[in-house]
Amino acid sequence: MMNRIFKICAYGLASVLMLTSCTKEFLNEPQPTDSVTDVVVFSSREGAEALISGMMRVTRGQFEATDTGGLNSLFFARDVKGNDLIQASSWFRFDYAHDNREPFYRRVRFTWEFPYFMINQANTLINGVNASDLAQEDKDYLLAQGHALRAYYYFQLVMEFQHTYSYDPSLPAPPIYTELSLEGKPMTTVQEMYDLILSDLNTAKAMASDYRLDKSYVNINVINGMLANVHLVMENWAEAEAAANAAYEGFVLNADGYDDGFSDMANPEWIWAMPQTLDQSNYYWGAPHSFTDFNTLSYMATHVNRDFVNLFSDSDVRNIFVEGAVGGNEDNWFYYTTNKFVFAFDSDHPIMRTPEFMLVEAEAKARQGKEAEAHDLLFMVQSDRDPNAVRSANTGEDLIEEILVERRKELYAEIGVEWFDAKRLRRGITRTGNHRVSVDLAPDDKRFFLKVPQSEIDANDSIDDSVNANR
Amino acid sequence: MRLKLTSLLTLLSAFVMQFAFAQEMTISGVITDGMDMPLPGANVMIKGTTTGTQTDFDGNYTLTAAVGDVLVFSYIGQKTEERTVGSQSVINVQLVEDAQALEEVVVVAYGAQKKESIVGSVAQIGSETIEQQQVTTVTQAIQGSVPGVNILTAGGVPGTNPTIRIRGISSINASADPLIIVDGAPYNGNLNSISQDQIKSISVLKDASSTALYGSRGANGVILITTKGGRKNMAPELNLTTISGISNNAVDFHKTIGSEDFMKYAWEGLRNGYIAGGDDATTAAAAASANLISELGYNPYGVNQPVDVNGNIIDGASLIWDTDWKDALLRDYGSRTEHGLNVSGGSENTTYFASVNYLNQQGNVKTTRFERVTSRLRVDTDVNDWLKIGANLGFTTSNQNIPEQEGSSFNNAVQWFYSVPNIYPLYRRDANGELIYDGSGNLIYDYGNNSQPVNGNRPIFSGENGAGALYNYDFKFARYNTDLAGYAQIKFTDYLKFKTNLSYQAYLFDSYSYIDDEYGYAANVKGRVSQQRNLTTTMNAIQTLNFNKSFGLHNLNADLIYEAYQFKLDALSAQGVGFLPNVGALDGSTTPESVGGSVTRETLNSILGRVAYNYNDKYYVEGSYRRDGSSRFAEDVRFGDFFSVGGSWVLSREDFLMDVDFISFLKLKASYGELGNNRGIGYFPYLNVFETGWNQLGNTGVIQGGIADPNLTWEKTASLNYGVEYGLFNGRLSGSFEVYDKESVDLIFGKPLPPSTGNTSILTNIGALRNYGIEFSVNGTMIDTADFTWSAGLNFSMDNNEITELTQDFLIQGTKRWEVGRSLYDFYLQEWAGVDPEDGAPMWYKDILDPATGEPTGERETTKLYGEATRYYQDKLSLPDIIGGFNTGLSYKNWDMNALFNFSFGAYVYDATYQSLMGGFSTIADQAHADIADRWQQPGDVTDVPRLEANYQDLNASSTRFLFANDYVRLRSLNIGYTLNQELTETIGLSNVRFYFQGDNLFTWQSHDGIDPEQDLNGVTDSRSYQLRTMSVGINAKF
């Protein structure tokens, strides 16, 4: 009996000891299988490229809700604030009513958090690549994209959270981060923001080439496009002209593709885009397509102002408006819709197209008194779109006005062009025609920018409630 | 007198027999109990042999034994006696009641203890309590029966597991759920896989002393579920139960408005919108009449401009439809059927229990269904005098069909009838309002996205139909659970045992969804099928060495345990689009949309020990220690040490209380311990990683995941418990009173970061929470006669939650603000200041600021600008002040009745459903509550409901306007039974037959109507379906 006990005790003890020695291995065995470490990301060009690919994917992602999904939502909220589109009582309706800027609102939260999310990713990329052992050539290629994307999102922030640059560059602007921080930073000024944006874009430009993986990535054209718009806002006309011209180098106008539904980035006009496939889709969050297309199941909520429709001649390829898709007569706000965008889960979204930068170049030239060259460029776009187009004879403000109208006709519902111009030129927005909600914005109206979100104020020791006083 | 005579006779006969046999002799006698009553059926055995007999009806026995044999006399509930055969042939024995044997044995951590010896806080409910309820998930049976346990069953989906909080909420980010142990091993399947008739007992371990052996996982309390087994020397018993019933909603819904009212109010909202936009009243009214139909998209009247410029329905117009969405989406009655069959029994060495159970239950949303088959087999056997082995095998399969009924997706049925007004038709209509039929002559659900000017485009939930979604989509969950446990126990000596225990569980969860190819949100991709298959396997091995010996009056019990736990989650998912009609298998997909898969592992390795000592069953001391290593933390910080000490003093055994007659039992106890928590934080929370899967076309994409703290480690909870247990008047009144105080430190907390950093939070060990409270229970037997018994019990707890340390001054969490000294559940909201009688605008309070300093002066004023409104603490919590239960049992002859109430007082609920129904036509096509009739209409109106106005986003902005007291009392369960007379039963060959009625949630009294009082702990509603009121009749027969 005792013998057996000893045997079993010895066995038990031995097994306990054995098990204990296994403990370390036993506990180290589990490792994640759905993620990778920074070692993997920054040890090769492909690894760092994967981080850029991830960022490009998030660009059209599903960040918070249908009206706050990605860069396209940010643009579309600007679009519906103008005079050209009419939004039904659906998503974006509060943007349409100019009633969506309070610190608790989703629009405000998203417009703040989404760019900062991308900026943090860009900072990780820039700092990770700088600290890596990659070849200089690879570093340049990667850093150009990192700096450009960081600048691009700071540019969106400064546009959305303060008056325009020409109003007063000393006004408070959102905080700046160039590396990972666990502490909130204080507000900066509009001037500091633009200094960083220009510095980043110029750095990027010096490193970039025309090479890229595909049209959804940033190359020298895209960086020039970004620069063109930044200089436009800063009213550096000569720089805007040069950058705009460089932006569309290698791209052509393509009237034939205008009525293809704006859903394929292979269009030779497109410079920068958000591609989608059935397995990489933002589904119904894909404004403008999911709101303007009345032929496919989606929200069917965005209509076109009668006065805007009337700007298009019959022979204009862009005159693809539909009358009475949901009935009514021309006085009804819902009477006109557009076939510009075809909605599908794999519809690509444009971000930069050739005509935008031709018209930027035209405006910049006109501003510098080079009106004949401006006429050439304007007519290049107009005649491509409309075989019956007549070369403009306008001069001075009339010419500028014609270019701005052409920008709206060309780019409506894509990138918030009407809002962008009204804001940077401090013109205000007056609603005419058959609007559902008629609210006008005076020049420099505070409703051109948003309040700082409460979530930031609550968590940031360097920003308090006073930031929204008088905002 | 009779006894005396019998003894005399046997004595005489024994004397005579003595001459006949020298060695072998016949012994006889009478066995009586402490009251001198004969004990029929008592055992008499010759020790060390299998020879023995039983007493007859009068307690007499006779058997043949040799001189020197030892006779063992035993009877259930009595102390066993031994006598050595000598010269006398008559041995009469009086057995005395064995208080300890009768006493309840309670399942505790890694073992069982006598209730009396427990120094911690453990409550156990047995099968008799569980049998009086009909629960789909067994933990629901705890509700109202155990003080200090808050059970919330949110929603009416059958098979939903309740949220359980034991003694408050001791974690913020990590899990606050108790650890669930089934037959000794952590349970990683879905708890709804165990049917109630397989449960022998559920123990709730509440304090540190009782949970310390679970160390790192014990901080939130532990629930031990023990399945049934057989009994030794028990004739096979067949037990059949069948119960069937119907269910509907336990409480009424919010009242919504019909089409006519809707049209009038929508007109009014539109008109007011135009006035706010600058139109004069006449123009606005005309415009509202002209535009109403185009704004709504639909015209249920079918006539042009059905609402005139005065806001009335024009003469002669009548409704073509007035859709009752609730009727279209909800069942009048759902059915519930359960059949259970089990067999148990045992021989001298082996016991067994086998069970099968079938359940089919419908929920209140149409097509909601839960169907389950469970089976279990348990065998225990003594191989010889030193080895005992056993095995327990359970297999369950269940199918659940759950259309969405919580949250914010379009097809959530509850949200649907609270959002979509009656003016939108169930079936498609043409522009004139006529029904449209498909090619086969069937009606077509209206998805609100038809290309026609009127009755074509529904502004709300366009592209969806709540009722169509129930039939055109499938949301099926299938679960297969197998658990297998085996053990071997070696008894070295009477006092030293070794037990090895291995459990294995495989749980396969298959979720399948089908979205129609023709209708609904996947119609444009020709339908979508998504399937996910997760295989969870758990292995748990426990080696226990137990020492249990008495040295005189000193009793010592010690355990040394080694445990290894391994968890693996193997997930696989696929999704495809492009299906032919009626094809619902992924094979039929033309385009794969996504595939995914990952393998997650977790390991935990532990060594633990417990020493319990008592002196003369009077003074008890117990200590436990556990060291855990967890793969959830980085190598340097993954080990944690946890311990507890506790003691108790049974005063009633002291001389000075022996003579106090009315006190039958009195015990004081105290314990302290420190426990950990590592659950609910993901499997690798300490790693900074890049998430895969963010591919861009053909290029691999990653995104930097949330920021992590590499030194993240265990949350720790220090827990203190004091208690008194009492039994009065010979145990007729018994109960307990306990006080607890728990402080959780190093909380695994998502410290918020300013969003401008690009991260919203970092998971780190910071912050502390305190939970403290009291628990009280009393149970009494008022009447106890042969024909009539009446007993009742009351228990309640008062639990408090307080933040004791935070990383920042305060932290806004939705409707709450966390700061030191406040509860996690303290509402912090804009304060409603009513409606301005002049213009009908909503108003809130705001602080008046000192112009010089910018600080609040303490004064406040009203504002109509919501953005300016100040948020205030309301001193209202979503946690109740007091929760508890009351039960009573009555039996009279063959009738018995049991009722269980549970109650909750002092909590507040934020009724977001009511809020959305009070939108005031800010969004023109949203359904409204009947209370909207009280809206402000003209200057001078004094009301609490603001004016209606299209596009006025703040009309129903979040404020105390939607915060309501949420007190309730619920008759959780009522069970009335009738047992057939024994003679009658036996004539039909059965041993016991009982018919009964079982009602659940039959009655609810609540302070705020329209919602189920059981909502989330955070007190915010989320368009959930309601709990079920179920009425059933059943029969239980034993063979």
Share of chain A above pLDDT 70, in %: 95
Cross-chain residue pair B756–A280, CB shorter than 8 Å: no
Spatial distance between the Cα atoms of A429 and A407, rounded to a whole number of angstroms: 15
Strands ordered across the beta sheet of B811-813: B811-813, B816-818, B826-830, B871-877
Of the pLDDT bands very low, low, confident and very high (cuts 50, 70, 90), residue B4 is: very low
Please tell me the predicted confidence (pLDDT) of residue B985: 84
Instruction: Give the Cβ contact number of residue B34 at 10 Å.
Output: 11
Beta bridge partners of B457: B449
Reduce the DSSP state of residue B489 to 3 states and report it: strand
| Smallest CA–CA distance from A277 into chain B, residue | B697
Structure tokens at B48: 């060390």
Kindly report, residue by residue over B1005-1030, the tens digit of the pLDDT.
999 999 999 888 888 888 888 888 99
Taking Cα atoms as reference points, which of A46, A51, A36, A41 lies closest to residue A131?
A41
Cβ-in-10-Å burial (0-12, 13-18, 19+) of A73 comes to buried
Share of chain B above pLDDT 90, in %: 52
> Which chain B positions have a beta carbon within 8 Å of A348's beta carbon?
none
Of the pLDDT bands very low, low, confident and very high (cuts 50, 70, 90), residue B100 is: very low
Q: Is A23 in CB contact (< 8 Å) with chain B?
A: yes
| Smallest CA–CA distance from A2 into chain B, residue | B492
> Which chain B positions have a beta carbon within 8 Å of A175's beta carbon?
754, 756
Kindly report, residue by residue over A447-468, the tens digit of the pLDDT.
999 999 988 998 899 999 899 9
Spatial distance between the Cα atoms of A280 and B963, rounded to a whole number of angstroms: 42
Please tell me the predicted confidence (pLDDT) of residue B103: 58
Give the residue with greater pLDDT, B839 vs B218: B839
Asked whether A420 and A76 are in contact (CB, 8 A), the reply is no
Backbone angles phi, psi at B157, to 5 degrees: -80, 120
Taking Cα atoms as reference points, which of A353, A345, A360, A453 lies closest to residue A411?
A353
Please tell me the predicted confidence (pLDDT) of residue A8: 54
Share of chain B above pLDDT 70, in %: 97
A 373-392 residues with CB < 8 A to B: none
Kindly report, residue by residue over A53-66, the tens digit of the pLDDT.
999 999 998 999 99
Please compute the mean of the pLDDT values over residues B649-672 and round it to a whole number.
88
Please tell me the predicted confidence (pLDDT) of residue B294: 86
What does chain A come to in residues?
Answer: 471
Cross-chain residue pair A439–B277, CB shorter than 8 Å: yes
Backbone angles phi, psi at B742, to 5 degrees: -120, 135
Distance between B744 CA and the closest CA of chain A, angstroms: 23
Backbone angles phi, psi at A207, to 5 degrees: -95, -20
Please tell me the predicted confidence (pLDDT) of residue B6: 47
Cross-chain residue pair B758–A325, CB shorter than 8 Å: no
B85-94, B223-232, B235-244, B767-776, range with the lowest pLDDT: B85-94
Tell me the residue ranges of DSSP E strands in B350-433: 350-362, 369-382, 387-401
Spatial distance between the Cα atoms of A362 and A391, rounded to a whole number of angstroms: 13
> Which chain A positions have a beta carbon within 8 Å of B683's beta carbon?
30, 32
Please tell me the predicted confidence (pLDDT) of residue B506: 94
Cα distances (angstroms) measured from residue B773 to each of B54, B191, B532, B776: 53, 28, 43, 10
Please compute the mean of the pLDDT values over residues B785-814 and round it to a whole number.
88
Kindly report, residue by residue over B567-622, the tens digit of the pLDDT.
999 999 999 999 998 898 999 999 888 888 889 899 998 999 999 999 988 899 99
How far out from the chain centre does Cα B928 lie? 33
> Which chain B positions have a beta carbon within 8 Å of A93's beta carbon?
923, 951
Spatial distance between the Cα atoms of B829 and B816, rounded to a whole number of angstroms: 7
pLDDT at A38 over 90: no
First-last CA distance in chain A: 89
> Which chain A positions have a beta carbon within 8 Å of B704's beta carbon?
51, 120-121, 124
Q: Is B577 in CB contact (< 8 Å) with chain A?
A: yes
Please tell me the predicted confidence (pLDDT) of residue A22: 60
**For residue B258, what is the DSSP state?**
-
Would you kindly state where each structural domain of chain A is located, as residue ranges?
Answer: 40-468
Q: Is B814 in CB contact (< 8 Å) with chain A?
A: no
Q: Is B564 in CB contact (< 8 Å) with chain A?
A: yes
Please work out, in degrees rounded to the nearest 5, the angle formed at the alpha carbon of residue A25 by the alpha carbons of A21 and A28: 140
Spatial distance between the Cα atoms of B91 and B70, rounded to a whole number of angstroms: 12
Please compute the mean of the pLDDT values over residues B796-810 and round it to a whole number.
88
CA torsion, points A14, A17, A19, A22, in degrees to nearest 10?
-130
Instruction: Give the Cβ contact number of residue B819 at 10 Å.
Output: 15
Cα distances (angstroms) measured from residue B630 to each of B162, B766, B809: 27, 19, 32
Kindly report, residue by residue over B928-961, the tens digit of the pLDDT.
999 999 999 999 999 999 999 988 878 999 999 9
**For residue B660, what is the DSSP state?**
-
Q: Is B637 in CB contact (< 8 Å) with chain A?
A: no
DSSP labels, B895-945: EEEEEEEEEEES-EEE-HHHHHHT-TTSSTTS--BGGGGGB--STT---SB
Q: Is A467 in CB contact (< 8 Å) with chain B?
A: no
Please work out, in degrees rounded to the nearest 5, the angle formed at the alpha carbon of residue B351 by the alpha carbons of B346 and B354: 100
Q: Number of Cβ pairs closer than 8 Å across A and B?
A: 272
B802: left (phi over 0), alpha (psi -120 to 50) or beta: beta
Q: Is B608 in CB contact (< 8 Å) with chain A?
A: no
In the block, tokens 């409910």 appear at: B125
Reduce the DSSP state of residue B224 to 3 states and report it: strand
Please tell me the predicted confidence (pLDDT) of residue B15: 41
Cβ-in-10-Å burial (0-12, 13-18, 19+) of B18 comes to middle
Please compute the mean of the pLDDT values over residues B488-495 and round it to a whole number.
91
Please tell me the predicted confidence (pLDDT) of residue B19: 42
pLDDT at A169 over 90: yes
pLDDT at A158 over 70: yes
pLDDT at A298 over 80: yes
CATH architecture of A40-468: Alpha Horseshoe (1.25)
> Which chain A positions have a beta carbon within 8 Å of B459's beta carbon?
88-90, 301
Q: Is A202 in CB contact (< 8 Å) with chain B?
A: no
Please tell me the predicted confidence (pLDDT) of residue B21: 42
Please tell me the predicted confidence (pLDDT) of residue B97: 66
Cross-chain residue pair B692–A280, CB shorter than 8 Å: no
B631-635, B910-914, B940-944, range with the lowest pLDDT: B631-635
Question: From the list A8, A97, A104, which residue is nearest B492 (CB)?
Answer: A8
Please compute the mean of the pLDDT values over residues B405-411 and round it to a whole number.
82
Of the pLDDT bands very low, low, confident and very high (cuts 50, 70, 90), residue A197 is: very high
Backbone angles phi, psi at B112, to 5 degrees: -135, 150
In single-letter form, the type of residue at position A321 comes to: F
First-last CA distance in chain B: 39
Taking Cα atoms as reference points, which of B565, B572, B658, B571 lies closest to residue B605?
B565
Interface predicted TM-score (ipTM) = 0.90
Distance between A228 CA and the closest CA of chain B, angstroms: 26
- pTM of the full predicted structure? 0.80
Please tell me the predicted confidence (pLDDT) of residue B838: 94
pLDDT at B302 over 90: no
A147-151, A207-211, B191-195, B806-810, range with the lowest pLDDT: B806-810
Taking Cα atoms as reference points, which of B740, B571, B770 lies closest to residue B171?
B770
B 855-874 residues with CB < 8 A to A: 866-867
DSSP labels, A185-215: PPPEEHHHHHHHHHHHHHHHHHH--S--SST
Question: From the list A50, A109, A334, which residue is nearest B294 (CB)?
Answer: A334
Please compute the mean of the pLDDT values over residues B27-55 and round it to a whole number.
80
Spatial distance between the Cα atoms of B214 and B234, rounded to a whole number of angstroms: 35
> Which chain A positions have a beta carbon within 8 Å of B498's beta carbon?
8, 12
Please compute the mean of the pLDDT values over residues A242-270 and round it to a whole number.
95
Of the pLDDT bands very low, low, confident and very high (cuts 50, 70, 90), residue A378 is: very high
Please compute the mean of the pLDDT values over residues B761-774 and round it to a whole number.
90
Of the pLDDT bands very low, low, confident and very high (cuts 50, 70, 90), residue B98 is: low
Beta bridge partners of B1002: none
> Which chain B positions have a beta carbon within 8 Å of A214's beta carbon?
697, 699
B 316-375 residues with CB < 8 A to A: none
Give B500's contacts (C-beta < 8 A, 6+ positions apart). B487, B488, B541, B542, B543, B544
Question: From the list B498, B695, B953, which residue is nearest A53 (CB)?
Answer: B695
Cβ-in-10-Å burial (0-12, 13-18, 19+) of A154 comes to buried
Give the residue with greater pLDDT, B40 vs B968: B968
**For residue B463, what is the DSSP state?**
T
Kindly report, residue by residue over B142-162, the tens digit of the pLDDT.
888 888 888 888 777 888 888
Cross-chain residue pair A27–B631, CB shorter than 8 Å: yes
B 667-706 residues with CB < 8 A to A: 683-684, 687-697, 699-705
Give B610's contacts (C-beta < 8 A, 6+ positions apart). B109, B110, B213, B557, B558, B559, B561, B622, B623, B624, B625
Spatial distance between the Cα atoms of B225 and A53, rounded to a whole number of angstroms: 49
Reduce the DSSP state of residue B58 to 3 states and report it: coil
Reduce the DSSP state of residue A40 to 3 states and report it: helix
Q: Is A299 in CB contact (< 8 Å) with chain B?
A: yes
Please tell me the predicted confidence (pLDDT) of residue B286: 93
Structural domains in chain B? 2-98 (2.60.40.1120), 259-321+414-461+919-955 (no CATH)
Q: Is B762 in CB contact (< 8 Å) with chain A?
A: yes
Give the residue with greater pLDDT, B680 vs B485: B485
Q: Is B634 in CB contact (< 8 Å) with chain A?
A: no
Beta bridge partners of B485: B392, B503
